[in-house]
Amino acid sequence: MAITHNLGFPRIGARRELKFALEEHWRGELPAPALLELAAGLRQDHWQLQGELDWQPVGDFSLYDQVLDMSVTLGNLPARVRDLGGDELTAYFRTARGRAPGDAGDSVVAAGELTKWFDTNYHYIVPEFSTDTRFSLDPSRLLAQIDEARGQNVAVKPVILGPLSYLWLGKAKDGSDPLALLDGLLPVYAELFETLGRTGVEWVQVDEPVLVTELSETWQQAYLRAYRFLAGRGPKKLLTTYFGRLANNLELALSLPVDGLHLDAQANQDKLESLAAGLPDDRILSLGVINGRNIWKSDLNALLDRLEPLHRQLADRLWLAPSCSLLHVPVDLTSEQQLDAEVRNWLAFARQKLDELTTLATALNQGRAAVAEALQANAEALRSRRESQRVNRVDVKARLQALDASWGQRQSPFAERIRQQQDRLRLPAYPTTTIGSFPQTSEIRQLRRRYRQDELDERRYRACIQHEIARCIREQEALGLDVLVHGEAERNDMVEYFGEQLDGYAFSQFGWVQSYGSRCVKPPILYGDIQRPKAMTVDWIRYAQSLTDKPVKGMLTGPVTLLNWSFVRDDQPRSVTCFQLALAIRDEVLDLEQAGVEIIQIDEAALREGLPLKRSQWPDYLDWAVDAFRLAANGVADTTQIHTHMCYSEFNDIIDAISRMDADVITIETSRSDMELLAAFDRFRYPNDIGPGVYDIHSPNIPSHDQIVELMAKAGRRIPAERLWINPDCGLKTRGWPEVLPALENMVAAARTLREAVA
Ligand SMILES: CN1c2c(nc(N)[nH]c2=O)NC[C@@H]1CNc1ccc(C(=O)N[C@@H](CCC(=O)N[C@@H](CCC(=O)N[C@@H](CCC(=O)O)C(=O)O)C(=O)O)C(=O)O)cc1
Ligand SMILES: N[C@@H](CCS)C(=O)O
Ligand SMILES: [Zn+2]
C-alpha cells in the first residue's frame, strides 16, 4: 500500500475568508472569539478537503505566519512584545504587525522583520535572537489543533519547523551566531516531541528546508548533533525537505536518525532508485511527486512508470505527497468559471493536486485499471497543452532567434549618457521622486471591481482613473517633487496588470496566494509564448504627462519580476520565457520613448529573490536575468533615462550584477539600515546614479525633515552628492494619503536644505 499525505494546505480560504476576518479584527470590528471560530471553520473545511489522504497535516494552519507560530511554541517572542503583557493573541499580532486591535501610543512596537521564504513570494516573520535568548515550550496551539482534528476523525500528522531551519531563518540582532543557541533549543524540541508522543501522535513532520541549501561543515555537524540528541524521543519523525535538490546534503539527511525522509522527487529524480534500493528496512521514503509550487497538471502516466518499480520494492514504506506545502498555490480550480476552458484543462490547484495524489496511490495500490478514466483524461490534457498553437508561436520563437548582442547595449557609456540626460531634464541637485504607486484607496479598488462586474462601462472607468491620475499629479506638483509618477491607480498589481494584457498569459478570478499576513497576490498564469498585442501603459502615462511640465516617469515591471511572480510554464527553460517577456517590455519601452516619455522606470523587485537557493547556481541565473533586463531596457536613445527599482537592500553579494544592469538610476530600500547598505555601492565604486530610500513605507510613521537630511548626509559619505536622488524605499500603495502627504512634504523640504549646502 502506497501511503498518501500532505505537507500543508493554503489557509487563506478559497474566498480569502481569513484575510477579510483578520482585517476586520484588526480594525476592531470582529471580536477575537469570532476570528478564532472562523479559523476553526476553515481548518475543518481544509481537513475535509484532504479527507482522502492517509495522513493529514495539523498545525500547518496559521493566523499570520507559520514561522511566527513556531516562535510562540518555542517561547521566543521579542522582549519588547513580552514586556507589554496582554493575552496570547494580542502579543502574536503585536509581533506580526507592531500593533494589536485598539493599540495606540506606548503599546505600539516595532513589528518583526518580514523576509521572503526561500525563493517563494511568501514572506515570514524573522525569529529574533541574541546571546541571551532562552527558549521555553508552549505547545498549547499545536495540542489544541490536534484535539480539534481528532474530534473530526482526522489522521493527525503534526507539522513543525525543525530546530536547524528555525535557527537558520532567524537573525541575531546583536550579531551573535544563532547556531550558538542550539544547545539551549534542543531540550525544548525534545520536550515538544515527548509531549506529542504522550498524546499518541504516531508521526510528526519535521520541516528542514534548509537542507536544500549549500550548508557549511559547521551546519552539517550541527544537524548530526541535533538529530542524535532528539533520536528516539516522541513520535516517529519524517524529516521533510523541499524547494530543491538535496545534493551534497543527501548523505547527511540519510545519516540522521529519523524514521522517514521526504524529498522533492523531481529535483532529486536521478537519486530515487538508488535511494529506494539502499533504504534501511525501518525507514519510509516520502516522495514529493506533485509539484506544490506550480499550477500545471502532473503527467500521471509518466509518474506511474517511475513509481511502480519503487512501489514493488518499498510497498507501504513508499509515501506520496506534493513536493512542498500547498501554501504556494490557489485553493480550487473549480471556482474558475471564467478561465478559458482550454487553458483550465491544463491546470491543477491545491484540491486538484490532492486528487492527482489519490489517483496515483489508487493506481499503485489497485492497478492502473482502477483509475483508467482519470489517467486517460490526464494524458489527453497533457497532449492538448503540448500541441496547442497558443503555447507555441512560430513568430515569437523566430524573433528570439534573431536577437543579437547589440540589442542589450546602450549607445554610449553612462558618463556620456548622463550628460545628455542632464541637458535635457535640467533637474536640480538631489532630485526628488517616488517609486510609482500612490495610495490604492478603497475607492480605487471599488472602481476596479465595478468595472470588472460590468457595473461601469469602459468610458466611465477610464474617466474615473484619469481623475485619480490628475489628483496624483496635482498633489505631487503641490509638494514640489521633481520627477513625477502617474500613481498606478489603474493597476491591481504590478505583475497581474501586465499579465492581463500580454498574449501567452491567462489570469484567474480567485487564484489568490498568501504573500504575507492578510496580503495576497493573484499570480497570472504564463502558459505560452509571450507577445504584446498593443501598448499597455502609454495612454495613461501620456495623459499624466499632459497635465504637467515636470517629467513623468513611464512605469513598467521588468521581465525578471514578471517571471518570478507569475506561475510560469514548465515546458521550456525559465531563461527563454524571461527573454520573451523582455522583448514585450522592450516594445513597451520603445513605445513610451516614441510618445515623448523622457524617463522610464523598469521595476525589478523580484530579481534578487529569484536567486537560486544554491549559491553555485547564482552566476548562471544572474547572467541571463541581467541580460533580460538589458534587452528590455537598452533599446533607447542616450537621452532617455532608464531607472530601475528594487525594494530590498542586500546588494553586497550581487553588486556586480546590479552594476551590469547599467540602469542610469537605481532606487533601493536603505532607510531601515541607516544607509549602511550603501557600503556595497561605495566599495564597488558603482558609477551610476542612486536613490537610496529615505523612509520606510512599511511603517505608518512620518519621517521628519531632520531624519531625512541626516540619512542623506550619511549617504553622501558613500556616494558623491551629484549622483544622489531622494525617494522613499518603495511604492506607496499600501499607505493612506494622510500619511503620504506629510512624509513627502518633509522629503522635499529636506532636499531643499541639502541643495542649499551644495549651492
Ligand atoms: C511588492 N510586493 C509584491 C509582490 N508580488 C506581487 N505580485 N506584487 C507586489 O506588489 N511580492 C512582494 C511584495 C508583497 N507585497 C504586497 C503588498 C500588498 C499586497 C496587496 O495589497 N494585495 C491585495 C490584493 C491586490 C489586488 O490584486 N487587488 C485587486 C483586487 C482587490 C479585491 O480583492 N477587491 C475586492 C473588493 C475590495 C474593495 O475594496 O471593494 C473584490 O473584488 O471583491 C484590485 O485592486 O483590483 C490584498 O488585498 O491582499 C500584496 C503584496
Ligand atoms: N512601482 C511599484 C514598485 C513596487 S516594488 C510601486 O511603486 O508600487
Ligand atoms: Zn518596491
Residue minimizing CA distance to atom 43 of ligand 1:
449
Rounded-to-integer distance, Cα 746 and Cα 124, Å: 32
Please tell me if the CB atom of residue 555 comes closer than 6 angstroms to any atom of ligand 2. Answer: yes
Q: Which ranges in the chain are annotated with CATH 3.20.20.210?
A: 3-329, 419-757
Q: Does residue 698 have an active-site annotation?
A: yes
| Neighbour count for residue 416 (Cβ, 10 Å) | 12
Residue with cell 535538490: 245
Residue type at position 119: D
Q: Which atom belonging to ligand 2 lies closest to the Cα atom of 647? A: 5
Atom of ligand 2 nearest to the CA of 435: 7
**SS3 of residue 160 by DSSP:** strand
Distance CA 450, CA 17 (A): 21
| pLDDT score recorded for residue 724 | 97
Q: Which is the closest atom of ligand 1 to the Cα of 445?
A: 45
Rounded-to-integer distance, Cα 659 and Cα 73, Å: 43
- pLDDT value of residue 609: 87
Is there a contact between 504 and 388 (Cβ–Cβ < 8 Å)? Answer: no
Ligand 2, atom 8, residue with closest C-alpha: 731
The closest alpha carbon to 260, from 224, 235, 284, 287, belongs to 284
CATH topology of domain 3-329: TIM Barrel (3.20.20)
Cβ 605 under 6 angstroms from ligand 2? yes
C-alpha cell, 639: 537621452
What CA–CA distance (Å, rounded) separates 548 from 483?
11
Architecture field, domain 419-757: Alpha-Beta Barrel (3.20)
Would you say 703 and 726 are in contact if contact means Cβ atoms under 8 Å apart? no
Q: What is the strand order of the sheet 553-557 is part of? A: 553-557, 599-603, 641-646, 665-668, 689-692
List, in order, residues 6 or more apart from 182 with CB less than 8 Å away. 163, 164, 167, 222, 225, 226
| Per-residue pLDDT tens over the stretch 435-455 | 999 999 999 999 999 999 999
Cell of 172: 541575531
Integer Cα distance of 278 and 280 in angstroms = 6
8 Å CB contact between 289 and 265? yes
* DSSP H or E stretch at residue 365: helix 350-366
CA gap 123, 663 in Å, rounded: 28
Q: What are 537-577's pLDDT values in tens digits?
A: 999 999 999 999 999 999 999 999 999 999 999 999 999 99
Ligand 2 centroid–CA 423 distance in Å is 28
User: CA angle 46-49-54, nearest 5°?
Assistant: 105
**Strand locations in 241-365, DSSP E?**
260-264, 284-290, 318-322
Which amino acid belongs to residue 381?
A: A
Ligand 2 in reach of 489 Cβ (< 6 A): no
Q: Which long-range contacts (CB under 8 A, 24 or more apart) does 19-24 make?
A: 19/512, 19/518, 19/519, 19/520, 22/63, 22/64, 22/517, 22/518, 23/518
Query: Which protein residue's CA is at the shortest distance from atom 18 of ligand 1?
Result: 519
Residue 598 Cα, ligand 1 centroid: separation in angstroms?
A: 29
User: Rounded to the nearest whole angstrom, what is the distance from the C-alpha of residue 569 to the centroid of ligand 1?
Assistant: 23
CB 694 within 8 A of CB 435: no
pLDDT for the residue numbered 676: 83
Query: Which ligand is nearest to the Cα of residue 668, counting in written order?
Result: 3
C-alpha 200, offset from chain centre: 36
Q: Name residues of the chain where pLDDT drops below 70.
A: none
HEC string of 352-418 equals HHHHHHHHHHHHHHHCHHHHHHHHHHHHHHHHHHHHCCCCCCHHHHHHHHCCCHHHHCCCCCHHHHH
Point out which residues pair with 643 in neighbouring strands: 601, 665
Q: How far is the CA of 470 from the centre of ligand 2 (A)?
A: 19
Paired sense of beta strands 503-506 and 525-531, if any: antiparallel
pLDDT for the residue numbered 674: 82
Ligand 1 pocket: which of 16, 445, 556 to mutate (most atoms within 8 A of CB): 445
Distance, in Å, from the CA atom of 272 to the CA atom of 286, rounded to the nearest integer, reads 11
